[in-house]
């Protein structure tokens, strides 16, 4: 009899624990709530963006400006990445900053023919450095908010300041010579888009998404950006997400970044106040 009573108590306790956990999951929603009070989000993140670019450099096109995602930590010399939002009711503002210096090096040996020695090996080393600051700022308005989805429309501006520096060094028979050249671009473009979250099965898991498109300012023909991933809310004040992010720039004839794609995984932690 005692064993039956003990088994009944354990089964009852398990039911209560399951109900309590389910209730906690239900009450802890990853979707923001609209209210007539200020709320703030701050999101530091790491974006392992590989770069594929055609540079317009000294009146000619260079198709070799590639920094791979797999080597991005080795290519990243310095940088900082952060975004923030402030909301009151349906209205809000947002800002996103990507600041990074990426660098890649290469070398090869070229045999220069000569009459006297037949050929002299020349060591050619090059170093390409990309310094970039990308800022996106926008006003937002919540157009949809229920228990499954949160959606903001946005309109704003994205600005980019980029500098490409090419350093070349030639050495042969203990004698070396070098040259350094650089080119910069700075432009700001209007953008429109949307962003939000989709809650997965009424849980604390969610799908973050973002998209914008714009152009026409400065030297830009078109720019767009997209983010899609998965995240989880751990407490009311923090959640973590892993996403894939792509940003594209197509500039006019004399723009430095002719057709440039930044893309790669992004790991972020959002702190809510």
Which among 223, 228, 256, 250 is positioned nearest to 157, based on CA atoms?
Answer: 223
pTM for the whole structure? 0.74
* pLDDT one-digit tens code per residue, 194-204: 999 999 999 99
CA angle 130, 189, 224 (to 5 degrees): 70
The dihedral through the CA atoms of 71, 75, 80, 85 has a sign that is negative
Q: Specify the length of the chain in residues.
A: 273
What pLDDT does residue 9 have?
36
Low-confidence ranges of the chain (pLDDT < 50): 1-26, 64, 69, 71-73
What pLDDT does residue 6 have?
41
Annotated domain spans of the chain: 31-272
Q: Which residue has the tokens 């310094």?
A: 131
- Looking at the domain 31-272, which fold is it? Lipocalin (2.40.128)
The dihedral through the CA atoms of 248, 131, 182, 166 has a sign that is negative
What pLDDT does residue 258 have?
73
* pLDDT one-digit tens code per residue, 224-239: 999 999 999 999 999 9
């Amino acid at each position: 009899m005692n064993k039956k009573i003990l088994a009944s108590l354990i089964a009852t306790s398990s039911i209560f624990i399951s109900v309590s956990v389910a209730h906690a999951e239900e009450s802890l929603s990853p979707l923001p709530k609209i209210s007539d009070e200020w709320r703030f989000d701050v999101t530091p993140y790491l974006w392992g963006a590989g770069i594929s670019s055609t540079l317009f450099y000294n009146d000619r096109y260079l198709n070799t400006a590639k920094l791979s995602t797999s080597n991005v930590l080795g290519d990243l010399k310095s940088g900082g990445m952060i975004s923030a939002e402030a909301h009151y009711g349906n209205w809000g503002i947002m800002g996103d900053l990507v600041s990074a210096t990426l660098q890649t090096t290469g070398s090869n040996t070229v045999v220069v023919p000569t009459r006297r020695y037949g050929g002299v090996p020349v060591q050619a080393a090059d170093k390409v450095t990309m310094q970039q600051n990308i800022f996106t700022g926008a006003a937002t308005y919540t157009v949809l908010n229920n228990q499954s989805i949160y959606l903001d429309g946005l309109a704003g501006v994205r600005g980019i300041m980029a500098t490409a520096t090419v350093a070349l060094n030639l050495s042969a028979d203990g004698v070396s010579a070098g040259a350094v050249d650089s080119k910069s671009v700075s432009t700001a473009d209007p953008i429109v888009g949307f962003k939000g979250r989709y809650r997965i099965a009424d849980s604390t898991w969610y799908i973050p998404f973002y998209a914008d498109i714009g152009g026409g300012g400065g030297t830009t023909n078109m720019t767009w950006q997209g983010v899609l991933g998965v995240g989880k809310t751990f407490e009311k004040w923090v959640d973590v997400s892993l996403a894939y992010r792509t940003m594209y720039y197509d500039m006019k004839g004399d723009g430095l970044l002719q057709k440039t794609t930044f893309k790669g995984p992004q790991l972020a932690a959002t702190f809510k106040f």
